[in-house]
């Protein structure tokens, strides 16, 4: 649905947020809700960027520290942090970010390929960049930032 709209109008709506000192964004169609940080229950043997699981109205939702996942400094979550709940396929995952900024509408043609300078890790997670007057927005490829065990879980 979202994709057909993109094809038809070339228009995309993105939710922008701040992680560390950088601005990122994801497609709004993937975002289910945005909520304040609540302490998560630690998952044993989880990768360091998985903070744990929280109770989202009865479902168990894992929380990914986006900062740690993107190779930036791991966050120390407090009340000012925000969780962006996203739906990826059949999975519901929460991403811990510093703050949500706004929602912007852009033309698909405004998304530029990720410059080569970025490190491998960063480039893998970034679908492209958008340059506006005062800032650069990195478009996150949400599927790649999921922890690996989430993908393997489907096979098992």
Query: Would you tell me which residues interact with another protein (CB under 8 A)?
Result: 39-48, 50, 53-55, 57-62, 90-93, 147-150, 152-153, 156
Nearer to another protein, 31 or 139 (CB): 31
In the bound complex, what is the minimum distance in angstroms from residue 63's beta carbon to another protein?
10
Nearer to another protein, 57 or 109 (CB): 57
In the bound complex, what is the minimum distance in angstroms from residue 26's beta carbon to another protein?
17
β-pairing verdict for 136-140 and 22-27: parallel
Nearer to another protein, 43 or 118 (CB): 43
Residue of 70, 69, 72, 94 whose CA lies nearest to 82 = 94
Bridge partners, residue 147, by sequence:
none
């Amino acid at each position: 649905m979202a994709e057909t709209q993109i094809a038809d109008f070339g228009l995309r709506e993105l939710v922008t947020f701040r992680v560390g000192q950088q601005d990122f964004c994801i497609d709004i169609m993937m975002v289910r809700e945005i909520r304040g940080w609540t302490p998560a229950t630690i998952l044993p043997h989880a990768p360091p960027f998985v903070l744990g699981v929280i109770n989202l109205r009865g479902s168990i939702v894992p929380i990914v520290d986006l900062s740690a996942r993107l190779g930036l400094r791991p966050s120390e979550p407090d009340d000012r942090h925000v969780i962006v709940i996203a739906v990826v396929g059949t999975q519901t995952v929460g991403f811990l970010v510093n703050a949500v900024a706004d929602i912007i509408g852009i033309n698909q043609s405004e998304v530029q390929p990720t410059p080569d300078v970025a490190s491998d890790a960063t480039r893998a997670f970034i679908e492209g960049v958008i340059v506006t007057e005062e800032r650069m927005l990195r478009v996150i490829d949400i599927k790649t930032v999921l922890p690996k065990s989430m993908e393997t879980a489907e096979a098992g």
